[in-house]
Structure 1
Amino acid sequence: MNVLVCDDERQIVDSIIETLEKKTEETQVSSRFYGVSQPSQIDFSRPYDIALLDIDMGETNGIELARKLRAENENIVIIFITNFIQYAPEGFEVQAFRYLLKADFSAKLDSYFDSAVQEVLRRKQLVTISINSEIIDVPVNDILYLESHRRIIVMHLLDEKCPAYQFYGNITELSEKIEPLGFLRIQKSYLVNMHYVEIFQYNKVQLRGGLCLAPSEKNYSELKQKYLHWRGKSRWML
């Protein structure tokens, strides 16, 4: 696991890396850390899995740096570190995973890093399907939702070049296998990736891109509780 730490205060960079190196040794998570105090020192060709970025670094804005990193690796997990709370809303623009105030380092750095590691592993998970005897591995993070038409399942993807796969399967069996990866069966025909849910209401579940699906009215309360429980564990809060 490749971890980038960028802050214009070298002492903070070294402190973060020292703390996380000890943690990864204890938890036996194989990691390599890259610490820089200037964004110009970053090697964008490296496949970073996690980036801890200062937001305010003088002439350089950490939000812009996050955009560049995400352009190179769409699945990078970004944690912003800063002294200033007012930057928080901008973090949503670049899909920040967590927002860590420097005053909270000692209390929250370990738990935030643990969560980031789990998110990296989730994004690297694959769902394997068979189409005309061809085995295809699909990254979980590429799946928007799945829908069932009797024995045919349509897997809708975020990839515009390949928007969907169609294959034979049982959505009940599939649901049991992939719900632990962040999916929710909102009604008998739809299994959605909760990471891409933007609105969850009684009469609609809106996904990224504005697509709206109808949830089960009968099971709405239970579904909403499951979604809120997942959201509480997976979304960052101030």
Structure 2
Amino acid sequence: MAGAAVQTRPIVVPILIAVNLAIFAITAAQAGDLLNNFRSSLFAQWQLWPPVVASGEWWRMLTSGFLHYGPLHLAMNMLALWILGRDLEVLLGKLRFCALYALSLLGGGVAVYLFGDMSTAVAGASGAVFGLMGGLVVAIWRLKLNGTQLYVLLAVNLIISFSIPGISMLGHIGGLVIGALCAGGMLFAPRARRSQVQWATVGLLLVLLVALFITRDAMLGEYICPEDGYCYQPSGFGV
């Protein structure tokens, strides 16, 4: 359906899980504390902290998606990544799945940067995970399957995002919207021009996110932080 080579086993999803586990292990080792791994130097350098992003460290919108606040946060996101990602990767293929995952991760980060609290640092893979959820919703529509269970899961997760403190609602919604749009371009592309439409969709979404980031950057102006990168101590949100 998406023009991908037929495969039965996911490859990218296990790699992403392994990378997240390895980065968590590094932060826990640096902090010397499994539960308070956010105290590590790598966490401070990679988390999405809007003032530091505004001062030029734009890559934090991507690197923050590989950080997690403690083992429970990590376990929940990796379980969701496995459950949601394995079938979507098989359907889309490796390259298209990577594009959807990366755009969803960036979409969550840009949403936080656009509308989030400047005093709050954000980390977690949930923006990308919600993007996979949005992609699966589109896939169910395209395949004309019964998606009741997925719709209930999505609704419950959105309610949790809105109602429980300490969860980045913006990161979730940003990832969800971008993931659904990306999957729509991939799965509803006309067969005759499938590849062109798919990658044009990826390119347009990337241009949109970059444009939104540049606009927000211009609105904020330049943040001047001390050499250690700390304008002030942020409070942390998990996504």
Structure number with higher helix proportion: 2
Q: Give the strand-richer structure, 1 or 2.
A: 1
| Same structural fold, with TM-score higher than 0.5 when normalized by the shorter chain | no
Q: Structure 1-normalised TM-score? A: 0.29
